Amino acid sequence: MFAGTCPSELADAPLKIPGRARARGEIRASFTAIGERTRLGRLHEHDGLRLRFPRTARGCEAVLVNTAGGVIGGDHAKLSFDCGPHTDVMLTTQAAEKIYRAQSRLDDDRACIEVTLKVGEAARAEWLPQETILFDQANLRRKLEVDMAASASVTLLESIVFGRMAMGEHSLTGSLHDRWRVRREDRLIFAEDLRLANNITDVLDRPACGAGARAAATLLHVSPDAPQRLDAIRDVLESAGCESGASALNGFVVVRLLSASPEKVRSAILLLLNLLRDRDAPRVWN
């Protein structure tokens, strides 16, 4: 979620970015409960990443802003959030994140985004970024790691749009590695690695993989009552207009969405968030 130079100059031109120009952004934030309110404790912002806090009636809403406007090969963003006991924190992004093409698929030209959440007793934390848009020849590695208390509630979302469809970019090559690890009371309860490389659209067009999908999303809801929400989630998905599935296991529900239409995936996400959050979707999503 990060870039080191002007994205408009990178969209249609080969990248020749010296190592010293690559960005190393970081956000470190902690949140604490004071009475019934959740307040920002400490905040560290570095190199183009900012966190902003719109006023909300409930909880604390934190909006990540990437002042560079996108991500290029070699950029590295580290985002760490510590949600203390009894806090209520929702984390989102100002807009969809654009991943521009890299010079190569070598490790030095890979964009890296690392997100870490620590969630205390009886806390509620939500990681709800808007879509990630992969440009042709993007090279992205993304990691999401969560350590939560047994009594905490966590909702995690990542959605991806494959190619700039509005620009007629329907064929996509590149590399994507998406890694999730969720631990509850130091015990691993959810682990997933998604790897797509080379001709990504060929993989997405296979009937057993994407059947022509150009947008995908994973939503994970972990809470003591998560399995009891499965039937309601499936009822919502019936009218979502996407290829979808939902499963419950070990105190969490995981939902998958696929569609040739990014708009349909987004609409389905909003329906699910309204169900799971018992409040409106983040205002910046509108």
Distance CA 235, CA 255 (A): 12
Closest C-alpha among 268, 284, 218 to residue 247: 218
Distance CA 183, CA 56 (A): 29
**Does 98 reside within a domain?**
yes
Q: What is the pLDDT of residue 95?
A: 93
**Does 244 reside within a domain?**
no
Given a cut of 70, is residue 18 above it in pLDDT? no
**Does 280 reside within a domain?**
no
Across the range 157-167, mean pLDDT stands at: 89
CB 119 within 8 A of CB 92: no
For the chain, the 3-state helix, strand and coil shares in percent, each to the nearest 5, are 15, 50, 35
Distance CA 146, CA 210 (A): 28
**Does 38 reside within a domain?**
yes
DSSP for 180-235 reads EEEEETTEEEEEEEEEEEEEHHHHHHSTTTTTT-SEEEEEEEESTTGGGGHHHHHH
**Does 117 reside within a domain?**
yes
**Does 87 reside within a domain?**
yes
Q: What is the pLDDT of residue 167?
A: 76
In the chain, pLDDT over 90 holds for what percent of residues? 72
Q: What is the pLDDT of residue 23?
A: 78
**Which residues contact residue 140 at a Cβ distance below 8 angstroms, ignoring those fewer than 6 apart?**
71, 99, 110, 111, 112, 113, 132, 134, 174, 175, 176, 177
Helices 230-238 and 262-277 cross at an angle (nearest 10°) of 150
Across the range 84-105, mean pLDDT stands at: 91
Given a cut of 90, is residue 10 above it in pLDDT? no
Given a cut of 70, is residue 14 above it in pLDDT? no
Distance CA 35, CA 17 (A): 49
Q: What is the pLDDT of residue 21?
A: 52
Given a cut of 90, is residue 93 above it in pLDDT? yes
Q: How many domains does the chain have?
A: 1
Q: What is the pLDDT of residue 56?
A: 81
Across the range 175-185, mean pLDDT stands at: 96
CB 204 within 8 A of CB 134: no
pLDDT by residue (tens digit) across 102-144? 876 667 789 999 999 999 999 999 999 999 999 999 999 999 9
Q: Which two tokens stand for residue 157?
A: 């979302």
**Does 204 reside within a domain?**
yes
Across the range 258-268, mean pLDDT stands at: 95
Please, is 242 exposed, middle or buried when counting C-beta atoms within 10 Å of its C-beta (0-12, 13-18, 19+)? buried
Range of the domain at 199: 7-227
**Does 164 reside within a domain?**
yes
Q: Looking at 62-71, 226-235, 257-266, 277-286, which range is the least confident one?
A: 277-286
Given a cut of 80, is residue 221 above it in pLDDT? yes
- What pTM does this model have? 0.89
For residue 268, what is the enclosing H or E element?
A: helix 262-277
